[in-house]
Structure 1
């Protein structure tokens, strides 16, 4: 029965120094198991093996509460068969083990054969060695709570005292309490993460796709989506505006998939990603022999998209020459391959997108006014992520789920970390948010993305600088006046890379003298002349064309 240890503790044997040395070795090795073993099962089993091999505490077992029965069952053991482990079930208060759990007191059974409450439940008497066998059981305590019971057999007639064994068992029970507590926390957190992920998957699967794959609940996003769906079936050109990373290509796909052209090709072209000298042949194709390397006739993107939709991303980066050719396609529905004089009829819908202010570009002479009107029959502005309220948290959970699945992890992002993400301005918008979540998942080592790691990553992102404010919209009928037009000469130190060097405006006849002077000074080198004039090479060529400068 469970008793106070003072009533049945033997006096220590003479070999005290040797006993203490062994105990310290066991404790040292057991402490190493806590941090080095891969799982709680491996750690506790190794500790129980140390108890058996080094101090003779045999058939050690750790019993923990069983949720199914409310009693105790053997969770970890050493020296027991699986059948013996399976039989180690005890109702609340049953046997020596049950009483230790209830009373939180140590039990010392000097002779198991003389104790009426000893059940021989897990290990039959026939299995135990002959002679007097003792049984020791100590509660596994965490603060004031009893987490379970640590118990073992030992031979009664041994030089090592029972008092030494009890002291060692109590120390080991404290270590086991730490292992059990950590294991319970990990299991609880893992179960919660799995439950949250399952709930999110179910919610996403059960939720009707009213947003056409666009995730978000903010009113600004819903307005943009509703406008997109309103014009989807109409055969008009659409201009998508908004900052980089706001999902312009996804909205272009929505326009295509909700139109009568949904079964035809959707061809996306990033006008800024293709070199200027290759863009025309990519868009319109080329004939064999049109240039070096053109060994066969090739269709362009417009021909590939016949009957479908062409998405022209970063349309503001097109050269004036290509702007003119694109305007001709819009007007005639015909393209000319490079090296050909025969038109090819195409039936495509054009959806253009830009993060630039095209109205400002028109006023600055960087974009054709007639092309602007052709493209912006129906403009749709996409909101920046910082304008979408609580959508940041929703998108963060979505990208976290994707990254967890892709990288084989099961990380959790708590409310504090999510608030840090929601307060950030996100100059790169959705694309930046997705990349940040991927980085956090890859760099996190625990089971949760900590708020500190979020702050650290966002501080690194902030080096890019605060988001660029949208350019002011120029009121109609108020062209920008170029201060350089009134100058007689332009300083040679002006740097083309300086954004304040020259705010470009309408081409003025007064510029002709300055341009001719710069060209004479650089012996006709247009690149150096453009640098002196504080403009790009493309803008210099445009002015030379308009002013008929040879």
Structure 2
């Protein structure tokens, strides 16, 4: 007697088969090395286990309003090549255009069926059906999943439609994931190529990132004067990289094997600056328990860089003039001339001629310093360099914070259109904050606009005469436009701009609290969000009695 399965047993077998197909298709999503192998594997399962044959996935390209067979199982290369449809053609084009599935019970009786990819003679002699399912990303059709099947089969069309909808969703996810991977890969390849080109030019540019004519002119002047003993005055706005250019001058001079020291005249109180520059004898003042040589003496044989020379008081200006004229110093508390051999390079963002006219700067010292002035261009005048610097700072910030962040659409164009009153240092600060604020690994145009609005407020404070040096919790230094591995010395005593608040205001409390909440209590990241250094941020917490209320984070537990 023939053993026939009951209808109930048959339904159970079909359900188990469908479940197996779904499980195996899900495995393909996670384990296949490419969309080709994953989608082709799903189409093979449909054919071998469900009888849904000649499966094909048709996709369109952004620059072509037509569907092409991108993936298939059971089609020859020639059939795939022929399978091209406009959105206005055939059943497939209609499904793509309308986003609705189509079931053709008999392809021989359907005038809209074109037989373009697969010739009728290739198909079985019986009644052949055609099913096309839209592949959706959200509610938007991005492609079509299509199959042929024999009409007269024990398996119902409704069962096929259920499983095809599920598999079309899987295929949509594979396509989306692959698209994101390609987008990020292309993005990173473009970034890496730009950085590679910039770093290949590093030797020519002496470690300065940037190919603009303005930077090349400044570098040319520095290298021309480096071999001489002429005193150089570097002028330009804050954050243009004056210390780095002074290092380049030193490294291209005959003194390159000797010390390079740097000091920021605006960062040290007047009563301490003299001792820092000239040194002191034992007992010269309270706390002077031992003789200490100053920066000028320590830099003998090499180069001393004096940043913000315009902030030097008149008494120290007189003593510096003696060094320039006679190459001798006297330590504080001493009366013995000590010979030195030091090249002094100075820098300022101020107009020293105006300071001379106001009686704030010695005319004779100005003439001594201004023998060979070199003006460093602001970032807004360095055409094309914002892009290179932004990529560099993004890479550095990702490494520092352990992130994998990319720039979203329109962000680079917005960065290039901004005026950057704080120049390179400000750009670095903005990129760091953007990396911390970015969601889903992408810096959006909204993130950048929010940060730049805050930066514009800071710029207005600067224009009103507020100076960051007035902050008792002065900021730490930043490296301006120094490429990785450039070998540039760092001056830990030279402050960057940080946030130019002269006083701690009571209304800052809510802003500090919001930043702490956004960063889970991490004070270092909260400071970066607000454009402050960690030291400035903690100083404000202390002054506003907020230390006890700060939520614990990785750096304050």
Partners of 1:193 and 1:337 lie apart in 2 by 57
Partners of 2:355 and 2:145 lie apart in 1 by 72
Alignment deviations for residues 334-384 of structure 1 (CA, whole Å, 9 cap, x no partner): 111111111111110000001110000000000011111111111111111
Partners of 1:167 and 1:147 lie apart in 2 by 11
Contact 1:425 1:467 in 2 (8 A): no
TM-score of the two chains, using structure 2 as the length reference: 0.59
Partner of 1:341: 335
Call closer, same or farther: CA 1:286–1:53 in 2, change over 3 Å: farther
2:272 to 250, 274, 278: 278
1:386 to 362, 380, 386: 380
Alignment deviations for residues 60-88 of structure 1 (CA, whole Å, 9 cap, x no partner): 4256899798895437999xxxxxxxxxx
Partner of 2:513: none
Partners of 1:327 and 1:71 lie apart in 2 by 76
SS of the residue aligned with 2:361?
A: coil
Partner of 1:94: 74
Contact 2:135 2:172 in 1 (8 A): no
1:456-471 residue pairs with structure 2 within 5 A? 456-465=450-459
Deviation of 1:193 after TM superposition, in Å, equals: 2.8
Deviation of 1:461 after TM superposition, in Å, equals: 0.7
Partners of 2:200 and 2:321 lie apart in 1 by 45
Contact 2:232 2:344 in 1 (8 A): yes
Alignment deviations for residues 196-233 of structure 1 (CA, whole Å, 9 cap, x no partner): 24323432343362111122222222222111111111
2:201 to 204, 207, 212: 207
What is the RMSD of the two structures over their aligned residues, measured on CA atoms? 4.4
Call closer, same or farther: CA 1:147–1:314 in 2, change over 3 Å: farther
Deviation of 1:322 after TM superposition, in Å, equals: 0.8
Between 1:296-305 and 1:400-409, the stretch displaced more is 400-409
Deviation of 1:163 after TM superposition, in Å, equals: 6.4
SS of the residue aligned with 1:425?
A: coil
SS of the residue aligned with 1:288?
A: coil
Name stretches of at least 5 consecutive residues in structure 1 with no aligned partner: 1-11, 20-50, 79-90, 109-136, 150-155, 472-496, 498-550
Call closer, same or farther: CA 1:53–1:269 in 2, change over 3 Å: farther
Partner of 2:437: 443
Deviation of 1:433 after TM superposition, in Å, equals: 0.8
Name stretches of at least 5 consecutive residues in structure 2 with no aligned partner: 1-6, 46-70, 84-90, 93-101, 106-130, 148-152, 466-501, 503-557
SS of the residue aligned with 1:210?
A: helix
Partners of 2:238 and 2:157 lie apart in 1 by 73
The reply on whether 1:74 has 2:54 as its aligned counterpart is: no
Contact 1:52 1:59 in 2 (8 A): no
Deviation of 1:186 after TM superposition, in Å, equals: 1.7
The reply on whether 1:61 has 2:25 as its aligned counterpart is: yes
The reply on whether 1:245 has 2:239 as its aligned counterpart is: yes
Partner of 2:349: 355
Partner of 1:145: 143
SS of the residue aligned with 1:268?
A: strand
Call closer, same or farther: CA 1:194–1:392 in 2, change over 3 Å: closer
Call closer, same or farther: CA 1:54–1:70 in 2, change over 3 Å: closer
Call closer, same or farther: CA 1:395–1:241 in 2, change over 3 Å: same
SS of the residue aligned with 2:452?
A: helix
Partners of 1:52 and 1:407 lie apart in 2 by 48
Partner of 2:532: none
Partner of 2:538: none
1:318-333 residue pairs with structure 2 within 5 A? 318-333=312-327
SS of the residue aligned with 2:284?
A: coil
2:423 to 411, 429, 450: 429
Partners of 2:16 and 2:269 lie apart in 1 by 75
Call closer, same or farther: CA 1:348–1:76 in 2, change over 3 Å: farther
Between 1:457-466 and 1:202-211, the stretch displaced more is 202-211
Contact 1:140 1:146 in 2 (8 A): yes
Partners of 1:229 and 1:190 lie apart in 2 by 40
Call closer, same or farther: CA 1:144–1:324 in 2, change over 3 Å: closer
Partners of 2:221 and 2:306 lie apart in 1 by 19
Alignment deviations for residues 463-516 of structure 1 (CA, whole Å, 9 cap, x no partner): 1235979x9xxxxxxxxxxxxxxxxxxxxxxxxx9xxxxxxxxxxxxxxxxxxx
Partners of 1:333 and 1:206 lie apart in 2 by 40
Partner of 1:453: 447
Q: Give the count of matched residue pairs.
A: 382
1:119-518 residue pairs with structure 2 within 5 A? 141-142=135-136, 143=141, 145-146=143-144, 165-207=159-201, 209-413=203-407, 416-465=410-459
Contact 2:35 2:178 in 1 (8 A): no
SS of the residue aligned with 2:344?
A: strand
Between 1:392-401 and 1:456-465, the stretch displaced more is 392-401
Partner of 1:480: none
Partners of 2:421 and 2:361 lie apart in 1 by 25
Deviation of 1:265 after TM superposition, in Å, equals: 0.4
Partners of 1:175 and 1:230 lie apart in 2 by 66
